[in-house]
Amino acid sequence: MISLIYKEIHSFLGSLIGYIVIAIFLTTIGLFLWIFPGDTNILDSGYSSLDSLFYISPWVFIFLIPAITMRLFSEESRTGTIELLLTKPLTDFQIVFAKYLAGFLLVFFSVLPTLVYFYSVYQLGAPTGNIDVGGTLGSYFGLLFLGSVFVSIGLFSSAISNNQIVSFIVGVFLSFFVYVGFESISSLKMFEKIDDLIINLGINAHNLSMSRGVIDTRDVIYFLGVIFLFLLLTKTVLSSRKW
């Protein structure tokens, strides 16, 4: 399983597109935090806070992570190597989980350089270090949890089609829907009596508290549950190839 994880990471980082995706993520975040004027600009706000990072990143993730995961299974299906992969001494779930871990590590590598922004805000504070370090680290954990959910969604999208573009579009749609779709549904008059329940089915309701650095057990269980659900769905799709 370790060799499969290494293969996926090496395949991504061994190509130019891998670095382009990471560069686009960092550039987009950097422009909103430091260059573009507005509420998200740290220098304009005058506060030593990275709240803008944790507000913008989920929206960038909706497009970034499907771009990372779209090839994990679809490329194997297109080239016919999926049959060879299924003959290896690994269970279907081990294959799915290895691909998932590879995708998560790639997201982690993308987020890691943003610590430079944390260091910059730390130094710019008056006095130096005037930033909620604990809350910021908690927000990073929340961001990684959110990214891990999107990876599981992207992995499922990659498994249902051998076309990377289709996998990307489906991944973006599902990620967007799970993130804010339930909030839109809850606003419908026919669901006004159960609107709180519907809102809590979406990611954003659980991401909001974690993005403020509050690690709630209920939110962690929710994220782990959604991840397991999409991994199970991916495993089911993979197993159906043997039927």
Q: Is the pLDDT of residue 68 over 90?
A: no
Q: What is residue 152's predicted lDDT score, i.e. its pLDDT? A: 95
Q: What is residue 132's predicted lDDT score, i.e. its pLDDT? A: 79
Q: What is the pLDDT of residues 73-104, one digit of tens each?
A: 887 777 767 667 767 777 888 888 988 998 89
Question: Nearest-CA neighbor of 55 among 176, 143, 133, 120?
Answer: 143
Q: How far is CA 243 from the centre of its chain?
A: 31
Q: Is the pLDDT of residue 155 over 90?
A: yes
- Give the chain's largest Cα–Cα span: 64
Place of tokens 């679809």: 74
Does residue 12 sit in helix, strand or coil?
A: helix
d(CA 206, CA 179): 10
**Contact call for residues 74 and 162 (beta carbons, < 8 A):** yes
Q: Is the pLDDT of residue 231 over 90?
A: yes
Q: What is residue 182's predicted lDDT score, i.e. its pLDDT? A: 77
Q: What is residue 171's predicted lDDT score, i.e. its pLDDT? A: 93
Q: What is the pLDDT of residues 174-224, one digit of tens each?
A: 999 998 887 777 777 776 777 778 778 888 888 777 777 677 888 889 999
User: DSSP secondary-structure letter at 131?
Assistant: S
Q: What is the pLDDT of residues 8-66, one digit of tens each?
A: 777 777 777 778 888 888 898 988 888 888 788 887 777 777 888 888 999 999 999 99
The whole domain housing 63 covers 2-240
